[in-house]
């Protein structure tokens, strides 16, 4: 992703307010948002100017580690301008950031001076943890919070009515007039998109018709008696199914009864709307007028009262139900597939489409009327025409809707939103995939690809790692300035705003230089034809023109003459057509398969931070195996050694001699002595951010499973645990389903956080390395957890995790004495470590440190002896990689025999003592 920082403009980029004379409303300029107390003072709407907001741009904005800052600002802005002008189907997802500027001046929600923070400061005694609580559906559980919500809605409605569209809204209107705006998905509830002239809403109730034959048949008649009624009421859709602007979070323009679903328009032009606003301003609920009339009629008729419902504002709250979710989902699905509505305005056509249309028009003119040119008219034909003319029906022929080819979105603009809502995040991801697939058939390295997905905002979404591979460019700066830059200066026409056009003429990016590739020259048999670089399938070449079925076009639309066709042999034309068809088929096959985001880690050198686990001055063998795995990533490996000064420096010297390690980082502190996750995870986070590591690796041990997940949370990355194979910088193999299956996992995070199964990789050599040692200041390491006591078990047997021979016992031993009597003597004779199954550990027969299995220790010794173990799935996952497996069990159907190399069906109380004696 490319980050382009907008330069500061020489003059303020904003629109001045226009005087509005019609309408009056009752509120004072000194009224505050959410205030229940009101004053009855009338002011014209045009005189009640909202206070101009001073938005403070956030400082120290962090840039994702997978992004890089542009060094050629004008060139890159010219690129996005050219892509914007060439796009035909532009989808827009916007938030509150497009309405904070003048002349709207509506506060956003989540910034330091936004609505959530101001509401909490304004009502310190209301018990609000944040202003977000007033947008949670649970607020209706308290009368006080409900009253605050009603009053806040009334004030927001006043601000929305006084607000006027910003420059970004005017840019959307321009796109709609040109026919290039596919859809606007807005998170705002102010309705400014409707004020600027866009159709607004979620579509008609019939927009989501059933698609299956069985459900669709229910819409029509089942008998002749009611066919005339049902068939006549089927919707005809004379207007588009969905408006141009879709409010994802509802709107302040209406209220709905929670009992009878009656709709009430919140407008001051109607008496009911004015009364409802006054009721909300007092902090009181609005009663449904329809329910009151129905209740009065039922009471007069002697029927039981059904109650009177309350009106709720059509705004989607947190933890609330979105009644328009199905309509929004249907609209998103149609837009992603590129399904076009025949009742929508025409989309600008490409040069190829223009030539095809004009060629068909010329063919129709040349063919003419065959009945006239075929010869003379016979008498019987004339007589038949006379009789036929008398029987002609005057009804006009039925018009069939036009069949339009699908046009998926080819550009996505995300502006003024922090992308915190899950539904909006999914919409952005899906549209990004649909737009970026347009570049699937482009040859790599030919020239710079067009910018398909643009993010416009001051700061980036907080969870930056999940947006890797989604955006092509982040325009960091004022949204209104970016909107002006994308607009093209035009000659003034009727309906255009002079103030907007004057700003566009001064701040447009149309004059910024771009690197245009030279024309390609095709040569065949001493004939050369120059092909324009922008004349590609799906791209607009030159100025956009509105398509039409008529040769002369609509009024006011002037089409340039058709350029002369190049002179070339027919074989060259066949070659060009075959190349175009093959490209289309290739793009279609790629679109059918799921896309994989390009790994951002491959764009820079891979450097690995490896956490070294040690005990009593000795490096854990699992960390040495992690070094072997990390070498497959490429780049340098920096080993991190933490602990007290007495042990850490000695371990650092030993780590510097490990082959494959380039540098050793040492951080000493008393907080690190116990290797707890709380103080070490923040240290890993700071090192990754300061030194730009692409991978964080540790052994899959008890210590690694404690530290690495916490570090992954601090880095906002997903952990890939217990890998057994490395297929690439971002692709790993790990066991699943208790080791019965292997999963290939590809991480899209900017920083890959991985734990390595020690037995799956050879341990790196501890001799021959010559890494440098660098001390790292830990600062004040947090220490919320303190190690009180550590009791070490004394044993002369090998360590279970690294032992070459292991003898394990199961629940059949029946007690801890059974382990001491049968398992330990056999282990001593073999020089093996002692293990246990989970069932034996849970029963208290063996210590928890001896558990072998998926939730215990993973072992892969040369010899593994399973005594009295049936072979549960989770136990097999911890020992199935052993070289030789010997099972002793009296049940011949035990699952352990399916993986054992040697099996002894016998009573362990007899077989084990005899085996120990013979050894």
Question: The CATH number of the domain where 344 resides is what?
Answer: 3.40.50.1220
Looking at 452, 487, 519, which one is the last position of a domain? 519
Residue with token string 């010869």: 375
Residue 73's alpha-carbon distances to 114, 264, 312, 338, in angstroms, are 30, 50, 48, 33
Rounded Cα distance between 526 and 569, Å, is 10
pLDDT score for 3: 92
pLDDT score for 702: 83
DSSP reduced 3-state for 588: helix
Selection from 199, 489, 544 nearest residue 346 by Cα: 544
In a domain, 36, yes or no: no
325-337 vs 422-436: helix crossing angle, rounded to 10: 10
DSSP reduced 3-state for 737: coil
The neighbouring-strand residues paired with 698 are 755
Q: What is the pLDDT of residues 153-190, one digit of tens each?
A: 888 888 888 888 999 999 999 999 888 999 999 999 98
Relative to beta strand 245-247, strand 902-905 is: unpaired
**Top-ranked range on mean pLDDT: pick from 200-214, 393-407, 428-442, 551-565:** 428-442
Q: What is the CA radius of gyration of the chain?
A: 36
Cβ neighbours for 407, distance < 8 A, ≥ 6 positions apart: 88, 89, 338, 340, 347
Long-range contacts of 35-44 (CB under 8 A, 24+ apart): 35/151, 35/155, 36/147, 36/148, 36/151, 36/281, 36/282, 36/283, 38/281, 38/282, 44/20
Range 216-220 average pLDDT: 41
pLDDT score for 123: 67
Judge whether residue 639 has pLDDT over 90.
yes
pLDDT score for 389: 55
How many other CB atoms are there within 10 angstroms of residue 718's CB atom?
16
Burial class (CB in 10 A: 0-12, 13-18, 19+), 885: buried
Cβ neighbours for 587, distance < 8 A, ≥ 6 positions apart: 437, 440, 441
Q: Residues comprising the binding site?
A: 257, 260, 288, 331
Burial class (CB in 10 A: 0-12, 13-18, 19+), 141: exposed
Residue with token string 């830990």: 778
Burial class (CB in 10 A: 0-12, 13-18, 19+), 657: middle
DSSP reduced 3-state for 413: strand
The answer to which of 36-50, 79-93, 419-433, 717-731 has the lowest mean pLDDT is: 36-50
Residues 144 and 176 both lie in one domain: no
pLDDT score for 378: 53
Largest CA distance in the chain: 124
Query: What's the gap between Cα 418 and its chain centre?
Result: 12
Please say whether the dihedral angle defined by the alpha carbons of residues 874, 877, 880 and 882, taken in this order, is positive or negative.
negative
Burial class (CB in 10 A: 0-12, 13-18, 19+), 601: buried
The neighbouring-strand residues paired with 315 are 250
Residues 656 and 740 both lie in one domain: yes
Work out how many domains the chain is built from and give that number.
5
918's enclosing H/E stretch is helix 908-918
In a domain, 692, yes or no: yes
Residues 767 and 846 both lie in one domain: no
Judge whether residue 358 has pLDDT over 90.
no
pLDDT score for 554: 39
pLDDT score for 13: 75
Rounded Cα distance between 140 and 270, Å, is 28
pLDDT score for 367: 73
Residues 115 and 200 both lie in one domain: no
Rounded Cα distance between 905 and 826, Å, is 18
Cβ neighbours for 832, distance < 8 A, ≥ 6 positions apart: 797, 798, 803, 804, 805, 806, 807, 826, 861, 863, 865
In a domain, 350, yes or no: yes
Rounded Cα distance between 882 and 859, Å, is 7
- Tell me which residue range forms the domain holding 124: 107-162
Q: What is the pLDDT of residues 650-685, one digit of tens each?
A: 899 999 999 889 999 999 887 888 788 888 999 999
pLDDT score for 382: 55
DSSP 4-44: EEPPPPSS---PPPPP--S-EEE--TT--TT-------EEE
The stretches of 137-237 forming alpha helices (DSSP H) are: 143-162, 167-178, 192-196, 213-217, 227-232
Residues 466 and 514 both lie in one domain: yes
42 phi and psi angles, rounded to 5 deg: -95, 135
- pTM of the predicted model over 0.85: no
Residues 180 and 328 both lie in one domain: yes
DSSP 788-840: ---PPPP--SPPTTT-SEEEEE-GGG-SHHHIIIIIHHHHHHHT-EEEE-HHH
Cβ neighbours for 41, distance < 8 A, ≥ 6 positions apart: 26, 27, 28
pLDDT score for 270: 85
Q: What is the chain's mean pLDDT, rounded? A: 77
The answer to which of 142-156, 538-552, 630-644, 701-715 has the lowest mean pLDDT is: 538-552
Q: What is the pLDDT of residues 440-450, one digit of tens each?
A: 766 555 567 88
Residues 809 and 895 both lie in one domain: yes
Judge whether residue 44 has pLDDT over 90.
no
Tell me whether the omega of the peptide bond preceding residue 103 falls within 30 degrees of 0, making it cis.
yes
Burial class (CB in 10 A: 0-12, 13-18, 19+), 460: buried
Residues 437 and 338 both lie in one domain: yes
Long-range contacts of 520-523 (CB under 8 A, 24+ apart): 522/568, 522/572, 522/576
Residue with token string 């929508």: 344
Looking at 519, 553, 579, which one is the last position of a domain? 519
Report residue 864 as tokens: 């593994």
Residues 143 and 173 both lie in one domain: no
pLDDT score for 522: 40
Rounded Cα distance between 385 and 382, Å, is 5
Question: Does residue 906 or residue 589 have the better pLDDT?
Answer: 906
In a domain, 554, yes or no: no
In a domain, 565, yes or no: no
Relative to beta strand 310-315, strand 250-257 is: antiparallel
Relative to beta strand 348-349, strand 545-546 is: antiparallel
245 phi and psi angles, rounded to 5 deg: -110, 125
In a domain, 22, yes or no: yes
Residues 482 and 631 both lie in one domain: no
Q: Residues comprising the binding site for Zn(2+)?
A: 257, 260, 288, 331
DSSP 887-907: EEES-TT-THHHH-SEEEES-
In a domain, 393, yes or no: no
Range 49-59 average pLDDT: 52
Looking at 492, 519, 546, which one is the last position of a domain? 519
Q: Band the pLDDT of 527: cuts 50, 70, 90.
A: very low
- Residues acting as catalytic residues: 249
Question: Does residue 807 or residue 494 have the better pLDDT?
Answer: 807
End-to-end CA distance of the chain: 66
Q: What is the pLDDT of residues 306-347, one digit of tens each?
A: 888 889 888 888 877 788 888 898 899 999 998 888 888 888
Residues 113 and 169 both lie in one domain: no
Residues 337 and 462 both lie in one domain: yes
Relative to beta strand 263-265, strand 250-257 is: antiparallel
| 8 A C-beta contact, residue 661 and residue 612 | no
The answer to which of 128-132, 515-519, 611-615, 882-886 has the lowest mean pLDDT is: 515-519
In a domain, 496, yes or no: yes
């Amino acid at each position: 992703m490319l980050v382009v920082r907008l330069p500061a403009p020489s003059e303020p980029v904003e629109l001045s307010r226009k005087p509005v004379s019609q309408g009056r409303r009752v509120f004072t300029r000194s009224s505050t948002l959410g205030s229940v107390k009101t004053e009855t003072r009338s002011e014209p709407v045009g005189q009640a100017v909202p206070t101009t907001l001073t938005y403070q741009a956030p400082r120290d904005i962090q840039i994702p580690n997978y992004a890089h800052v542009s060094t050629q600002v004008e060139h890159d802005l010219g690129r996005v301008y050219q892509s914007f002008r060439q796009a035909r189907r532009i989808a827009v997802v916007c938030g509150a950031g497009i309405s904070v500027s003048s002349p709207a001046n509506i506060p956003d929600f989540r910034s330091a001076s936004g609505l959530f923070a101001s509401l909490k400061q304004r009502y310190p005694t209301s018990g609000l943890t944040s202003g977000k609580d007033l947008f949670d559906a649970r607020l209706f559980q308290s009368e006080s919070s409900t009253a605050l919500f009603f009053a806040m809605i009334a004030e927001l409605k006043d601000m929305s009515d006084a607000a006027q569209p910003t420059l970004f809204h005017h840019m959307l209107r321009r796109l709609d007039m040109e026919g290039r705006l596919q859809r606007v998905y807005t998170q705002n509830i102010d309705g400014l998109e409707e004020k600027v002239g866009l159709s607004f809403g979620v579509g008609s109730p019939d927009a989501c018709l059933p698609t299956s034959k069985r459900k669709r048949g229910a819409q029509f008649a089942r008998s002749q008696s009611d066919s005339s009624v049902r068939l006549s009421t089927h919707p005809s859709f004379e207007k588009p199914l969905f408006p141009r602007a879709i409010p994802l979070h509802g709107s302040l323009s209406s209220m709905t009864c929670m009992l009878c679903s009656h709709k009430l328009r919140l407008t001051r032009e109607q008496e009911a709307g004015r009364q409802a606003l006054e009721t909300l301003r007092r902090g009181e609920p609005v009663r449904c007028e329809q329910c009151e009339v129905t209740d009065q009629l039922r009471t007069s008729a002697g029927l039981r009262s059904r109650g009177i419902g309350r009106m709720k504002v059509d705004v989607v709250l947190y933890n609330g139900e979105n009644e328009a979710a199905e309509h929004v989902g249907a609209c998103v699905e149609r837009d992603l597939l590129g399904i076009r509505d025949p009742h929508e305005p025409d989309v600008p056509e490409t040069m190829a489409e223009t030539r095809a249309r004009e060629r068909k028009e010329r063919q129709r003119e040349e063919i003419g009327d065959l009945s006239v040119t075929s010869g003379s008219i016979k008498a019987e034909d004339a007589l038949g025409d006379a009789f036929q003319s008398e029987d002609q029906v005057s009804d006009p022929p039925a018009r069939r809707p036009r069949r339009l080819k699908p046009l998926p979105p080819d550009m996505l603009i995300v502006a003024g939103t922090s992308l915190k809502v899950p539904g909006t995040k999914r919409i952005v991801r899906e549209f990004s995939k649909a737009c970026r697939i347009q570049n699937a058939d482009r040859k790599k390295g030919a020239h710079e690809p067009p910018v398909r997905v643009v993010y416009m905002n001051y700061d980036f979404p907080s969870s930056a790692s999940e947006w890797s591979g989604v955006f092509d460019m982040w325009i960091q700066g004022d949204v209104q300035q970016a909107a002006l830059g994308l607009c093209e200066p035009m000659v003034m026409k009727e309906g255009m705003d002079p103030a907007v056009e004057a700003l566009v003429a001064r701040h447009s990016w149309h004059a910024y230089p771009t690197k245009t590739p030279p024309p390609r020259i095709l040569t065949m048999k001493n004939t050369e034809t120059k092909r324009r670089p922008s004349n590609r399938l799906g791209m607009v070449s030159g100025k956009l023109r509105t398509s039409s079925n008529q040769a002369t076009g609509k009024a006011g639309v002037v089409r340039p003459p058709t350029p002369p066709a190049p002179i070339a042999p027919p074989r060259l034309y066949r070659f060009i057509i075959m190349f175009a068809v093959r490209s289309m088929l290739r793009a279609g096959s790629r679109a059918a398969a799921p896309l994989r985001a390009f790994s951002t880690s491959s764009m820079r050198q891979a450097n690995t931070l490896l956490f070294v686990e040690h005990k009593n001055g000795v490096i854990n063998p699992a960390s040495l195996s992690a070094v072997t795995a990390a070498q497959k990533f490429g780049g340098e490996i920096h080993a991190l050694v933490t602990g007290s000064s007495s042990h850490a420096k000695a371990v650092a010297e030993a780590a510097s001699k490990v082959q494959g390690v380039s540098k050793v980082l040492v951080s000493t502190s008393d907080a690190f002595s116990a290797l707890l996750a709380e103080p070490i995870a923040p240290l890993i986070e700071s090192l990754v951010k300061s030194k730009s590591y692409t991978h964080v690796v540790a052994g899959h041990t008890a210590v690694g499973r404690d530290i690495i997940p916490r570090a992954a949370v601090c880095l906002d990355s997903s952990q890939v645990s217990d890998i057994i194979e490395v297929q690439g910088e971002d692709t790993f193999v790990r066991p699943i389903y208790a080791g019965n299956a292997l999963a290939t996992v590809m991480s899209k995070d900017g920083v890959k956080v991985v734990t390595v199964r020690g037995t799956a990789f050879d341990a790196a050599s501890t001799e021959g390395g010559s890494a440098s040692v660098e001390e790292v200041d830990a600062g004040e390491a947090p220490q919320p957890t303190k190690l009180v006591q550590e009791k070490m078990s004394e044993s002369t047997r090998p360590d279970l995790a690294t032992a070459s021979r292991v003898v394990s016992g199961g629940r059949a031993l029946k007690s801890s004495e059974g382990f001491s009597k049968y398992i330990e003597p056999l282990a001593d004779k073999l020089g093996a470590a002692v293990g246990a199954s989970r069932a034996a550990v849970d029963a208290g027969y063996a210590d928890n440190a001896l558990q072998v299995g998926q939730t215990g220790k993973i072992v892969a010794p040369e010899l593994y002896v399973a005594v009295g173990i049936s072979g549960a799935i989770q136990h097999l996952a911890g020992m199935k990689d052993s070289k030789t497996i010997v099972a002793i069990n009296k049940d011949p159907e035990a699952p352990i025999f399916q993986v054992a190399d040697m099996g002894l069906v016998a009573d362990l109380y007899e077989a084990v003592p005899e085996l120990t004696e013979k050894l």
